[in-house]
Chains A and B, each alone.
Chain A
């Protein structure tokens, strides 16, 4: 347990008051409409959603995870955390296309891109999946916060989970996305400052930059300073083939939508930006901060390794960065550090909470239950959904020990076999809703076969994860490609409408020619509607 001085508690209380104050301050803006409650009225300059991208993707379990891979693999471990680089290409491709579609959510985008029963099935599936995932994510980071509080104060884990998520819910309920993004801006500054201060402090504590380099040399571990230290083409625990796969998944994935689990959160930030340009820069710069943050952590964890080179238990070395803060920062700074951890935690929870509520309100209630609902009612439904998501996250968080390994598998299922379909839906006009749906279904079955069943019966050897990815990608395509070609293309009128609005990249020749034939290209101007 850690002892806090009076100054430490002052830091924490001030910070919490600041966060809740945000909710009160932006209450009037948040309640104006559905668009305000979930997208801040689509009017934000790029730096606000950028700070939200950064703050949201800095969760309390992130430093543990980054510390784990850096301690184990040296600087080469930064590539494990490089998956966020899907935004490199996305910022100038899928972000631009999605922003122009104006869809509130990825589920809504499905019904703009596809049509008919298939599109509605996809919208329903995507909504259900995202509502569940938001509860799961909140439970996941909530229980991580519970464990940190247990380490610091000796509280039962449920206390940290329930107390801080509930505090966060106050400003999400009050001001919706306005509260989220304004709090994220402050939380982003606090969190980045703390990461910078603690990491520099950690480097100094370990003997300074030169001390770390010398210390690694004395330990015979200088290879840890090489970010491209591979263990072979295919062999060892860090082969070049893994690195190439990771780069392909992360970077080429930027042409698609949903190739990363983070896409769904970013999609909200993209639509909240006031212009296409602001959307692009918000995604690019928010992710740049994430990448810089990872590297700051990496340097500090190398220092931690020099100080404690013989840790073998993951749960010990994964706490490396937290230990540098709590064990070595001077008195009075501990409260600042804990406030920063709260910032890291609240920014993630608030964003996920508002995202889940948006799917319930926009895609479930507004589209399927009450299409004529007035704006005031939609905001209240958003608040009700926020409470439901919050309660669901408590239940999942407390069940986490039992379900985690199954859900990690579920996340893997989601990523591998639908990675390419997630790109095809953006770049290829002929890919239809049935092809995309069949990819999801096929991936569900094939993942079990490739990852669990066939290796268990010795039909195939257990494959490393990067080979599982390629195998699932190829096998799934053997199902969704025939399904696509055996079913009709989407309605041409619907595709033309989508094309003119979004101007997607890739293979859209027939749709473009039809749009030109209808006189819809060039000016981007929709003709006046009859009677208007």
Chain B
């Protein structure tokens, strides 16, 4: 089993998986790296460039991990969006959608 999964079925992509948690972890680290790295690099302090480089690597890694899953979630969801929008319009008119009932 691969450490990072990059191929999903639509049903699997819909579940919250390890790859989501990895993106959740990498994303704040990348922001912290950007904040510190850009400020120090602007002042040509060498550690700033190192931190900035790490932040960029984290961003690339984050996208590599999460993008296949996000793509599939989006593709599958958009197929059904029209029906969901109709349901939303019923809600604003105080009508409950029927499709979830027994």
Contact = CB atoms under 8 A, between A and B. Distances in A.
Interface residues of B, number: 52
A367 B77 contact: no
Nearest to B94: A371
Nearest to A227: B36
A529 B88 contact: no
Interface in B62-102: 66-67, 70-71, 73-78, 80-81, 83-85, 87-88, 91-94, 96-102
A505 B102 contact: no
A526 B28 contact: no
B84 A526 contact: yes
A225 interface: yes
A88 B31 contact: yes
B18 to A, nearest CB: 13
Interface string B9-24: 0110010100010011
A218 interface: no
B45 to A, nearest CB: 7
The B contact surface, by secondary structure, is: helix
B3 interface: no
A493 B98 CA distance: 10
Interface in A260-317: 274-278, 280, 284, 287-288, 291-292, 294-296, 298-299, 302
A210 B43 CA distance: 7
Interface of B: 10-11, 14, 16, 20, 23-24, 27-28, 30-32, 34-40, 42-45, 59, 66-67, 70-71, 73-78, 80-81, 83-85, 87-88, 91-94, 96-102
25 contacts: A78-B39, A92-B20, A96-B70, A100-B77, A108-B88, A203-B42, A203-B43, A276-B78, A277-B74, A292-B34, A295-B35, A295-B36, A295-B39, A296-B39, A302-B43, A366-B92, A493-B101, A497-B97, A503-B16, A505-B20, A520-B100, A524-B14, A524-B80, A526-B100, A529-B98
Given A88-B28, A275-B75, 13 more contacts: A78-B35, A85-B32, A88-B31, A89-B27, A103-B88, A210-B44, A227-B40, A275-B78, A287-B31, A291-B34, A299-B39, A523-B11, A526-B84
